[in-house]
Chains A and B, each alone.
Chain A
Amino acid sequence: MRKTYVILRWELKKIFSNWHKTVTLFLLPAVLMMLALNVFPLLINYMSTGSLSKKPIILVSAPQSFRDYVKETADANVYTYSYMSFNEFSALFGDNERFGKQLKGGTIICFFAPGETDDSFDNAVKDYYREICGGNNSATSKAVIYVGFDLNSLSGGLRAQQFKQGILENYQNSLIDRLGGDYSELGSKLFSVDSFNPVTKLMDNRSVADDSASRIVPGMLLLMMYYCSYSLVSDMFASEKERGFWAKLKMTPVSASSIFAGKIAAITLIVSAATYLTTLLLFLTSWINTANDAMSLLPFGMMLTPFELLIVLITIPFTVIVMTAVCISTVFSLDKMQDITVNLQLPLVLFLADFFIQMFRGTRPMTLEYFIPMHNSLALISESYMAQEKIWHVIAVLAVNTIVAFLVMRSVYRKESLYDNRKRRA
């Protein structure tokens, strides 16, 4: 046990005394992932609009009720607005070239039309409520809000959709309070006072963010874990085997099992720490994403309960152990460094495929998936983000990964320890 600790300490010292390695393992993959997450929406925006910046939403003839709504509603402040009178808009509309260019650039136009009357939008809505209160149940509102965008612009279309669902629908619902007044069927008052519950607000955000996170985060963590595991196995086993240092270690009065245990413990500690850091950064990425872009992969408000977080944190080291065992088995079943490197990198392709499948799949994990080593961690983490985890999932994942890691390592150990004393005595 003491020798295992000596090996563990040595390996940790080796990693942390070399800033190059530390940065490569801890920061580079995490930062690259963060960049990828943040660059993705920008890239899509650029590809569809030709511009990196997000254009403001042009509000034409915006009524006072909407201006007030924007001032009072946090969600509405996600967007920037440019106010325009009808005459200004007419001038812009008349200039085909300028107008086309604006739309192509991802501009969204929101036009508040009062309908047939020459009155304002707000008055048109008030008339509607008045008619309803007067007993005209078949009354229809003449007021219309037109949302215009370029159909060829992917990000423009998505933003328009998000704006319609997230802002205009809520604005429409608020009109009964704002403009219905005494005429409202429900008898709403002109001024109402509501208490704000931040937890409810956060939970609303969470349901959206965690749904996205369950698609993105598990795959990213799995990729991160495998990348770090294989890099370290390559360094601690493959390289040492190639330069004969492994033989030198085996010549010491330390059993092969202690050497393996020390190195595996070091890899598990380092990779788990690096993955925890990535998890933290993913949370930060979500929580700083207040703009909540339509194409954002990690929307604002990603959150886990302490129990769900615990499951994620426990799953990580168990996944690392099985990944490490598989990598070690590859190292000791091949002789040439080139073959080892290629074979160690191959599973990355599988994890990448798993990541994309998870991103786009529309179904929950099947029972069988909890018994597929490594992939089961992806299923469990994903279910934790969806708050659908079950205790048997956790037990199955931890047990399967541990058993597989143990069996793989036992086979490697048997091959590697030439003089297995226990075997001989038996």
Chain B
Amino acid sequence: MITVKDVHKSYTKDTETIRGVSFEIGKGTIFGLLGPNGAGKTTLMQIIATLMKPTSGTVEINGLSPEKDLLEIHKFLGFLTTEIKLDPVSTPDDLFDFFAELYDIPKNDVKSRKEKAFERFGITPFAKRRISELSTGMKQKISIAISLLHDPPIIIFDEPTNGLDILTSRQVTDYLKELRNEGRCIILSTHIFSVAEELCDEVAILVDGKIVAQGTVAELTAMSGEKDFEDAFFKIYVENHRERP
């Protein structure tokens, strides 16, 4: 469903943020991008989400190229990041209706989809309240509900549990599992090992803009010879990190 081929991204002439990244993700898979801060996770996620153009290399979503079918791709792509903040003066109700119109959801469907999503995340009592009056966790849940209102088969989550309390975090991870079981393709970036261990079918470790290891959590732990995944990550990181000038 997602094919990334030899993607490079440079913001300046001297530094490459992403250095020749390639991978493929199929249906019903949660693919985790792991790496320390500044490794290039968000840049790579934004390239996959078509919000940023790679300097070279290609990204294909469901066999479509953003160069030719950008708007078509957006129909089955859901993108969520904690960096996206909803309009503070709008209500969840208004936002849902607005995005439903942009995604061409039939009017008859909007109500049922909204009820289902709001019920799922406990948004219903706050549906008419302004976003600015809601807690961080509730905002994140609304953001998820809105990002997925068009039922996308491919979901990109950049740090999905970042800044959330343990309860909301749990709700989000449970939901991600549900989505995987429904056969969706999910790519998420995180630096929280427990999230990766619990959720990801496959992980790629990104160090200095390059994937230095890829496989299941168990495979990577075994490959490194360490006893747990966190230690394995540290070992892989130390071996591959280049000192920047």
List residues of chain A with CB under 8 Å of any chain B CB. Answer: 3, 6-7, 10, 13-14, 17-18, 21, 240, 243-245, 247-255, 418-419, 421, 424
Contacts and interface: CB of A to CB of B under 8 A. Distances in A.
B53 A418 contact: yes
Contacts of A249: 102
A255 B87 contact: no
A14 B53 contact: no
Contacts of A247: 51, 79, 84
| Listed residue (B70, B72, B90, B102) with the most chain A CB atoms within 10 angstroms of its CB | B102
Contact of A6 (B51, B79, B86, B102): B102
B89 A253 contact: no
A18 B89 contact: yes
B192 to A, nearest CB: 21
Contacts of A3: 102
Say whether chain B's binding surface is mostly helix, strand, loop, or mixed: mixed
Contact of A244 (B53, B68, B84): B84
A253 B98 contact: no
Interface residues of B, number: 31
B218 interface: no
A248 B70 contact: no
Interface in B56-81: 66-68, 70-72, 74-75, 77, 79, 81
B51 A253 contact: no
A419 B87 contact: no
Pick the 3 closest A-B CB pairs, nearest first: A244-B84, A243-B85, A418-B53
A18 B75 CA distance: 31
Given A6-B98, A418-B52, A419-B67, A253 B85 contact: no
A86 B132 CA distance: 74
B83 A244 contact: yes
B101 A6 contact: yes
B53 A245 contact: no
A245 to B, nearest CB: 6
A424 B53 CA distance: 14
Contact of B102 (A240, A253, A418, A421): A253
Contacts of A243: 84-86
Given A7-B102, A253-B75, A421-B67, 5 more contacts: A243-B84, A243-B85, A248-B84, A251-B79, A418-B53
B23 interface: no
A240 B94 CA distance: 17
B81 A252 contact: no
Given A6-B102, A419-B66, A254 B71 contact: yes
